[in-house]
A = this chain, B = another copy of it.
Amino acid sequence: MILADVGNTHIHIYEEGRVLHLEPEDAIEAFGDRILYYICVDPEVRKKIVALTYWKDLESKIDLPGSYEGMGVDRRALCLSRDEGLFVDAGSALTVDRVVGGRYEGGMILPGLHAYRRALGEISEVLDREPDWSIECSSLPKGTARQLSYGIIAPIYHEILRLREGLTLYITGGDGRIVASWFDDTLYDETLVFQGMMKALVSVNG
């Protein structure tokens, strides 16, 4: 079984427990004549994908109780991967979603970590610096580089801690390892979205 998660920048392909992160054209060239199930959040890439006879859109099967009209299908699949938890997807955007007893309770959407870095760089040259993604957030630092690292990390880190309330923290996405490194106990797994897709497939096919 092959699965594809079509994002805003890459197509992520899952095959036999392994994940490939490919440019859209490369993914279509390599997997265009293979049978697979996909979900897609990018309207432009979707136009190319719908022409592929062997690719089946799984979106209508991704049924997350409590979710809202317009919620990204990748976030819904992520939330389906476990019966409950606080789910973080750290990609181009950073999303945090809360599921309790199989039911979606709500979430938030922030710029992704590298969008913060770009946003600061656009404000002034002084702020155009690579953040230290591993900075300690126990007390307010001094120094421009440390203060902007703290300013990106601490508000997100503390808000996630606050929202967690005893739930297991599940983290995925391209910057997921960075976010996971801030916490003592968390589960980072780049296959979570695919696990949710598989659950949806199993429940449909019995």
Partner-B contacts on A (CB < 8 A): 8, 41-43, 66-68, 70-72, 92-96, 98, 104-112, 115-116, 118-120, 122-127, 139-144, 147-148, 150-152, 154-156, 158-159, 162-163
- Tell whether, in the assembled complex, residue A141 and residue B106 are in contact, meaning their CB atoms are under 8 Å apart: yes
- Tell whether, in the assembled complex, residue B147 and residue A109 are in contact, meaning their CB atoms are under 8 Å apart: yes
- Tell whether, in the assembled complex, residue B93 and residue A147 are in contact, meaning their CB atoms are under 8 Å apart: no
Which residue of B has the minimal Cβ distance to A75?
B147
Question: Could you tell me the dominant secondary structure of chain A's interface residues?
Answer: mixed
- Tell whether, in the assembled complex, residue A108 and residue B150 are in contact, meaning their CB atoms are under 8 Å apart: yes
| Given A68-B142, A93-B127, A156-B155: A147 and B115 interface contact (C-beta under 8 Å) | no
- Tell whether, in the assembled complex, residue A123 and residue B68 are in contact, meaning their CB atoms are under 8 Å apart: no
> What B residues does A96 contact at CB under 8 A?
140, 151
- Tell whether, in the assembled complex, residue B105 and residue A111 are in contact, meaning their CB atoms are under 8 Å apart: no
Which residue of B has the minimal Cβ distance to A150?
B108
A86 to chain B: closest CB distance in Å? 10
- Tell whether, in the assembled complex, residue B120 and residue A93 are in contact, meaning their CB atoms are under 8 Å apart: yes
Which residue of B has the minimal Cβ distance to A97?
B140
A-B contact pairs, 18 of them (CB 8 A): A8-B123, A66-B142, A70-B126, A93-B124, A96-B140, A107-B147, A108-B148, A109-B151, A110-B148, A111-B111, A111-B116, A111-B120, A115-B119, A116-B119, A118-B122, A155-B155, A155-B159, A158-B158
